[in-house]
Chain A
Amino acid sequence: MIKHFLLILTFVILQACSGGKNVKQISSRQHDFFSEESFLRFDNKRLQAFQDQAPCFSGNIIDDLKELRSQLDKRKDEPQYWNQIGTCYYLNQDYTKAEYYYQLSLGTAEKLNHTYAPALNNLGILNVKLGHYIQARDYFRKSLKGNRNHTPRYNLALVHLKYNKPEKAIKLLTRFPHQDSSDPDLNFNLAYTYYLLGDFKQCRYHLSKMGAYDSRSDAHYLKAILLYDEGKYQDVLEILEKTTISITEFNKSNNLLKSLAEKKLEELEELAEKKKKAPKVTSK
């Protein structure tokens, strides 16, 4: 029983150490529109350059928390310090502690008579994780208040999408100064929003800007659905076959789309067969 428990614990710890790491790692700064604000999509290579600034992102959460602990007396008055600790716990999926230290970050900032946008944003993403999207929206709004930081704006747009508010999302997403960015996530979400708004042209445009990341299942979903609506069922199947990066949330819909496309093709084939068998009609 104890052995079994220890095995599970080890597994959980291993999961925790690697947990929270976004599978959509971006290896190049060029493709990371938010690189100056968020380390979340940094791959290990990029993170090496930011060991001090980006604790826990490389997965060494326990060691990095220890290191942060040792910096306590030097940095305890920095909101950033508590934000970093909060993020460590966030990455470790320990959301109660993450919330506690994000709040501590805000409290520290408050003592310095200002608000700390990152902690507010991170409380927002924490609430997203917990499914409290309204609270998340409010935190992102607070984080955005009085500044032009990209991350909370981007996150707020994503919450609007959760509530099927593409018109609100597009307003936020189109206010970024680098709309021509090759950031795959930003472009996907722009594409998705445009899609919801019925602007398929813009949708296609942003999908095309995903570059090397356009083989992700989310991008393929949009591409496939556009093709499907155009009746290009064979293309739908082809594109879905080419998916190399799996985004879980889209896999199911992609499979469904695939089966729909296959069905359509079968119907078309049947129809073609019928046409072949039917006598030629000579027009008058």
Chain B
Amino acid sequence: MKMLLLIMTLFNISAADHKEAISKNTPKKESRWEKLNKMIDKEENFIKTITNRGPRLQWRLLELKTERLKLIKEKENHTFLNAPFKQRKKYKKDWYFKKSRSYEREIRRKGLKIIKTWPRYKYNADIYYTLGLNSRDYNKGKQTEYFFLKALKFAESGSQVVYLSNVGLAEYYYNEKKYNKAVSYYLRVINNTDDQWHSKHLYNLSWCYLKTGKYQKAISFGEKAHSLSKNKDYIDVSEQVYDSIGLFYVMGKREKDGAYFYLNHVKEPAKYIIKMSKKMANEGHYKKANYLLQTALNHAVDKKQTIEEITIRLAYLDFYRNFKKFNLFFSMSQSLESIYKKTPFEGEQHEQTIEKIESMVGYLQVRLTRNSKIKIENYSIPLLKRVIDYFDILAVINKDKTDYYRFFQGETLFAVNEIKRAFFKYQASLEVNKKIDLKKKELKYDHKGLRKKLMNSLLACLEEQKFEDKHIIYTYNNHIELYPINPISQKLYSKLFNLHMKRKEPLLAIKPMNTYHKNYPADIKIQQSMLIKLIDYYILQKNTDQLASWINKMEKGFFKMKPDYIKQATNVLGEILFLDYTKLANQGKHQESIAGNKNLFEDKKYPAIIHAQAASKIALSYLQLGDSNEAVNWTITSIPLYRPKELKKRHPQLKASIERLVILQDIKYAIKLSTQLYQKYCLSNEPLKEYLFDQIFSLNLVEQKYKTAYKFISQKALKCGLNGKKKKESMISFINYVEQHKKEKLLTSLFSKYALKQGQYQNELVPIMIKRYWEQSLSKENNRDAKKTLYYLEKYRERYPNHKLSKDIFKITSFNKFKKQYEKKRFKMFSFGSSFDEEKFNNDLTAKFALLKKWVDETRPYTTNAPYPIVMKTLVMIHQKHLQLEKIIRKIKPPGMEGEYLVSFQAAMKGIADNISKTANDYHQQGKNVLTSSYERSVNNEYFLSASKTHHLMSIEFPTERYTLTFDQFWGNRKPAKITRKVK
């Protein structure tokens, strides 16, 4: 019991789900259905209110239920048709109609109950008939025959129910394929000509006769049905007759009549005649079938019914195909092609035409190739031609698939090893294919797929046979264009590039190279080698425009070419560009060379390095022409155009230019160029900088631009990182140079600034000033200058008293003081008074000798370790002091002394004077010795010579510079022979 309840519960849940599903699928607006249902409900409810209902009311209720059954069925149909596929599959059809079947059973029970309750009720036949119809329509006709026969049994003769029951039975037997029984009932039915369905009954009867093998009757009743269909009182079954009667004629072996029937009654009879023809053909009647088709074709042509004509010709295609009439099939295809050319047709006819011809060509291809795909030998050449021709026809008729047909042609030709012809077909196909916009969504055919196949086929052709370059290029080009990123294309880029290069078509080679790089940047090394090949070509061709263009690109990073290579290429470009102008320059045609190089310089298409080189070459030419100004200007122009490394490599040339300017005697331009370069390398550690420094410094000195040279080493070069050591060396050089060239004022200011104020360069400047002092002291004219120099030296000594050189200055100043005092010293004459006092005289003489000794002793510091002029002057002074004393002694004339005493006195004095003279001479000789052993200048040098004393007084300094001679002609190391020179 519990189990039963469970099953019922589950059933209820399941049923509820289904109801919900049905309700969901029920149309929301069922106003008509509901209205009718309500009306039925209303009447039913009303009748049901009558408690004592007779057969009439019961029969009415049965009729109302039958009406409701219709509504139920209608609803079930709707539900069924709208049910999801899965649901329909799950529940099967019967499940959807179970309610109507159940209701039918209920009606049937109630109907049979009425008949049972009221067996003599006059409408029982009608009830049976209703039940028969319900059985037929709502319960698979299981009891249809029974109820219709019961209806006939209980109906009154001649009543409508009898006729309807006969129709029902005739149709029932017809449907049950009980044609003989159906014929008997239809023969009863057709007696009633008042029914509008009479024509239909006649048509059904004609079919019953056909099914029972009575073809002539079938034709006859078919024609009658067709004839009555023209009468508006009857249902028009003419179309059904047309569909069927052709068969009747064929079966009745009256195909010509059939053809005429159609030609006479149908405006477009082709389809019916074709149907007849097919039937005949199926039965193997080629001629009859051909006759029918020909008749129809003639008719269509006569009537200019193109569509009919096409239909017939299409039927012909099938016909010829069936009967293997391939030539006729081909002719018919050509006819269709002609029609299509004149009047392109569409739709089913178009599709059929294509399908049939495609089918035929497919068949022929198989025959031709025997299912082999390549290298077929011993094939039928006419058959090959036929296949190709068919594809041509198809290409006309089905333009959308033209690429395919050309491809198929190619495939066919390829299969029979006609590789070149195949290539051209593939090519034609590809050309068509390329015009198709593959992005379109409504494409009928897979053109994209075909494109790949085409490319493969074209490549296969190239592999099979040797083709002309243009075909190879065509294939490669298309492949890389259509499939830029593709493993095959990846290889083809370089192949295509190489092929173009082989054909000397560099401009065409560029495209694959660039596309290759765009799509395969990782293959950069291969692309670089391609570019190198291209550039090599341009080099070979001396195509400077292209070379320049590519160098510009490479410099901007194209193909990430190595700087060394770019440089190499640029060098080559330069060599080519400059070749002619360099030749001109070598021939001494510098102006022409300059003009050419200026053109290159101004041409913006060339890279900066070419401009730089052009400027350098112009500069060089100007240098050769001796136009230093232009040469320097152009060199300066070139400098910023070079890259640092390139400029560095030009350093030897730049050095050479500077040196050339110097030897051209244009030192100021050499300075200008050196200065410009030095500024460029101001803050770098470039070795050239040191060279430039030396040049600027030394050449400014040569140009006597001392202030500029000084400013350079003391200021400008410091800003450019001149180190202390170098600065010191330069300053010492500067000081020495200034001294060498006797720039007295500058030397004084240097001494004042550095040695005196800053305590710098003392070891250089102080000795120079001392030397200068002695030189100035040599002549009386320069005495003032000497004093001025000494003034500075004294100031120095005051400021730096402990400096070692101050001692040397001190020697000068102390000697000058000493000399001044010393020269004032004089021996006093002997004074005697009125008489000679011997003792007093002796004392006076002794004192004079003592004084002489003292004076000689005082000079000691100036005769040893003293400067040469001091030594010489000191020796002169000592000598002169001796001479003075000697003179005084010789002149002694004592008063009152006479006679022998006087003679002996004078002899004694003479002896003393001679001794002093001898000592004086010793000093003179000493001075002479110093003079001889030294190579020094002094105003006192002449004093110690053997020339006359008068000459000493002249103080002549021998004017060497007056007599020295230039040495202008060198004759070697031998004495030149006397030669006679020609006088110009």
In the assembled complex, the CB of A275 is this many whole angstroms from the nearest CB of chain B, namely: 23
**Residue A116 at the chain B interface, CB threshold 8 Å:** yes
Partner of B984, one of A39, A51, A118, A149: A51
Partner of A39, one of B626, B968, B970, B978: B968
**Residue A213 at the chain B interface, CB threshold 8 Å:** no
**Residue B976 at the chain A interface, CB threshold 8 Å:** yes
Interface size on A, as a range, is 35 or more
Q: How far apart are the CA atoms of A136 and B665 in the complex, in Å?
A: 25
List residues of chain B with CB within 8 A of the CB of A36. 969, 971, 976, 978-979
Q: Tell me whether A260 and B953 are in contact (CB under 8 A).
A: yes
Given contacts A69-B664, A72-B663, A130-B742, contact A49 B981 (CB under 8 A): yes
In the assembled complex, the CB of A91 is this many whole angstroms from the nearest CB of chain B, namely: 8
What number of residue pairs across chains A and B have CB atoms under 8 A from each other? 195
Segment 149-182 of A: residues with Cβ below 8 Å from B: 149, 151-152, 154-155, 158-159, 161-167, 177
B residues contacting the other copy or chain, number (CB 8 A)? 58
In the assembled complex, the CB of B818 is this many whole angstroms from the nearest CB of chain A, namely: 24
**Residue A70 at the chain B interface, CB threshold 8 Å:** yes
List residues of chain A with CB within 8 A of the CB of B973. 117, 146-149
Given contacts A84-B968, A85-B665, A154-B965, contact A164 B941 (CB under 8 A): yes
**Residue B962 at the chain A interface, CB threshold 8 Å:** yes
Q: How far apart are the CA atoms of A151 and B775 in the complex, in Å?
A: 26
Dominant secondary structure at the B interface: loop
Chain A residue at minimal CB-CB distance from B977: A36
In the assembled complex, the CB of A211 is this many whole angstroms from the nearest CB of chain B, namely: 17
**Residue A279 at the chain B interface, CB threshold 8 Å:** no
**Residue A54 at the chain B interface, CB threshold 8 Å:** yes
List residues of chain B with CB within 8 A of the CB of A119. 967
Given contacts A50-B981, A97-B702, A196-B946, contact A247 B962 (CB under 8 A): yes
Chain A residue at minimal CB-CB distance from B968: A39
Given contacts A121-B967, A122-B967, contact A130 B740 (CB under 8 A): yes
**Residue B958 at the chain A interface, CB threshold 8 Å:** yes
Given contacts A72-B664, A146-B973, A249-B956, contact A260 B967 (CB under 8 A): no
List residues of chain A with CB within 8 A of the CB of B968. 37-40, 53-54, 57, 83-84, 87, 118
List residues of chain B with CB within 8 A of the CB of A188. 963
Q: Interface readout for B77-105 with A: 1 if CB under 8 Å, 0 if not?
A: 00000000000000000000000000000
Chain B residue at minimal CB-CB distance from A108: B663
Segment 1-54 of A: residues with Cβ below 8 Å from B: 34, 36-41, 48-51, 53-54
Q: How far apart are the CA atoms of A51 and B983 in the complex, in Å?
A: 10
List residues of chain B with CB within 8 A of the CB of A221. 954, 956
Q: How far apart are the CA atoms of A161 and B962 in the complex, in Å?
A: 12
Q: How far apart are the CA atoms of A228 and B971 in the complex, in Å?
A: 44
Partner of A164, one of B624, B942, B970, B982: B942
**Residue B866 at the chain A interface, CB threshold 8 Å:** no
Q: Interface readout for B681-722 with A: 1 if CB under 8 Å, 0 if not?
A: 000000000000000000001111000000000000000000
Q: Tell me whether A229 and B950 are in contact (CB under 8 A).
A: yes
**Residue B267 at the chain A interface, CB threshold 8 Å:** no
Q: How far apart are the CA atoms of A196 and B947 in the complex, in Å?
A: 5
Q: Tell me whether B775 and A131 are in contact (CB under 8 A).
A: yes
Q: Tell me whether A117 and B970 are in contact (CB under 8 A).
A: yes
**Residue A191 at the chain B interface, CB threshold 8 Å:** no
Given contacts A189-B963, A196-B945, contact A177 B975 (CB under 8 A): yes
Partner of B956, one of A38, A128, A146, A253: A253
Q: Tell me whether B742 and A164 are in contact (CB under 8 A).
A: no
Q: Interface readout for B930-959 with A: 1 if CB under 8 Å, 0 if not?
A: 011001110001100111101101111111
List residues of chain A with CB within 8 A of the CB of B741. 95-96, 130
**Residue B49 at the chain A interface, CB threshold 8 Å:** no
**Residue A58 at the chain B interface, CB threshold 8 Å:** no
Dominant secondary structure at the A interface: helix
Partner of A225, one of B664, B932, B950, B982: B950
**Residue B960 at the chain A interface, CB threshold 8 Å:** yes
Q: Tell me whether A163 and B626 are in contact (CB under 8 A).
A: no
Q: How far apart are the CA atoms of A162 and B932 in the complex, in Å?
A: 13
Q: How far apart are the CA atoms of A164 and B954 in the complex, in Å?
A: 14
Known: A40-B965, A148-B974, A177-B975. 12 other contacts (CB 8 A): A83-B970, A100-B662, A101-B665, A118-B970, A130-B742, A147-B973, A149-B971, A158-B958, A163-B941, A189-B963, A195-B947, A197-B946
Residues on B close to A: CB < 8 A?
624, 626, 662-665, 667, 701-704, 740-742, 775, 931-932, 935-937, 941-942, 945-948, 950-951, 953-976, 978-979, 981-984
A-B CB contact pairs (8 Å), 20 listed: A37-B965, A53-B968, A69-B626, A83-B967, A84-B968, A118-B970, A121-B967, A132-B740, A149-B967, A149-B970, A149-B971, A151-B966, A152-B967, A154-B965, A163-B935, A164-B931, A164-B941, A177-B975, A192-B958, A225-B950
Residues on A close to B: CB < 8 A?
34, 36-41, 48-51, 53-54, 57, 65, 69-70, 72-73, 76, 80, 83-85, 87, 90, 94-97, 99-101, 104, 116-119, 121-122, 124-125, 128-134, 136-137, 143, 146-149, 151-152, 154-155, 158-159, 161-167, 177, 185, 188-189, 192, 195-198, 221, 225, 228-229, 247-250, 253, 256-257, 260
